[in-house]
Amino acid sequence: MSLKIATWNVNSLRQRLTHLERLAEDQAPDVICLQETKVDDPLFPGDALAEMGYSHQVFRGQKAYNGVAILSRIPFKRRDHRIWCQKDDKRHVEVTLPGGLELHNFYVPSGGSIPDPEKNDKFAHKLSFLEEMAQWARSQTRGRKVLIVGDLNVAPLENDVWNHKRLVRSIGHTPGESQRIADLLEAGALVDAPRQFTPPDQPLYSWWGYRFPQAFERDYGWRLDHAFASQSLMPEIRRIETLRDARSWQKPSDHVPVIVELAA
């Protein structure tokens, strides 16, 4: 038996329903964690998703920005969320699955464009958010079966971006952000699961921007979408796949799904 969990920043759920249908057909994930749904809860397309087989749903959205959801073929034992940085901007939702796996879905602030927290409130917010995650993980992930997934908006390792030297002063790949991801892993005794399957000396990306011409064709990618497992969960992870192909679909999201397959 196995349990497949997908994480995907869809960059507008309503623009990506046919893409989700294709993911469901091609990969048949049991659980799908979404980020940047960009839809307020009353407009959530729950019926269309239920028709794809995902009748169990938790969603926390808002108009135009942010928003997270977890879709599932299997019922949840428990659902919850937390407010981060005293700001209810719909960046986290959590479920417990049968068997006791605690699944956290995050959308970390992107952080704007100037990598200086003194001059850029959005970057300050991002750094605080990551620090709060580490503080939280210290008490909430150790010794438990926890999987943290989502768009963390940080590519922490050199081979998580297409050109480390060129991008090391760009938001998403600054040493301060990478250090905070390392702090989160350390604080929560968490493992960067995809990097156990694809060694850190090899490139691994999940996002190719829209702006740079032919970003995907030239493989100008970043690994922004993550799966961090607690130590007790790690032995259950059978394989992890990044669906690069989804970036070449019609009207794609700028992110592709990452799939974690657990023995269950």
Q: How far is it, in rounded angstroms, from Cα 218 to Cα 216?
A: 5
Which of residues 147 and 215 has its CB atom nearest to DNA in the complex? 215
Using CB under 7 A as the binding rule, the residues of this chain from 35 to 54 that contact DNA are: 38, 40
- Continuous H helices in the chain: 17-27, 46-51, 121-140, 164-167, 175-188, 194-197
234 phi and psi angles, rounded to 5 deg: -50, -45
Query: How would you class 78 by CB atoms within 10 Å of its CB: exposed for 0-12, middle for 13-18, buried for 19 or more?
Result: exposed
Q: How far is it, in rounded angstroms, from Cα 117 to Cα 138?
A: 24
Among 2, 15, 18, 163, interactor with DNA by CB under 7 A: 15
Q: Does 211 bind DNA (CB under 7 A)?
A: yes
Region of 102 please: left (phi>0), alpha (psi -120 to 50) or beta.
Answer: beta
Stretch binding DNA (CB under 7 A), from 8-16, 68-76, 131-139, 176-184:
8-16
Stretch binding DNA (CB under 7 A), from 72-80, 94-102, 194-202, 211-219:
211-219
Interaction mask 226-255, DNA, x per CB under 7 A: -------------------------x----
Q: Does 120 bind DNA (CB under 7 A)?
A: no
Q: How many residues bind DNA (CB under 7 A)?
A: 20
Among 212, 235, 248, 263, interactor with DNA by CB under 7 A: 212
Distance in Å, CB of 230 to DNA, minimum: 27
Helix, strand or coil for residue 21? helix
DSSP 218: T
Region of 155 please: left (phi>0), alpha (psi -120 to 50) or beta.
Answer: beta
Which of residues 38 and 180 has its CB atom nearest to DNA in the complex? 38
Helix, strand or coil for residue 199? coil
Q: Does 165 bind DNA (CB under 7 A)?
A: no
Helix, strand or coil for residue 8? strand
Distance in Å, CB of 243 to DNA, minimum: 17
Q: What does the binding site for DNA look like in residue numbers (CB under 7 A)?
A: 11-12, 14-15, 38, 40, 63-65, 109-112, 122, 153, 210-213, 251
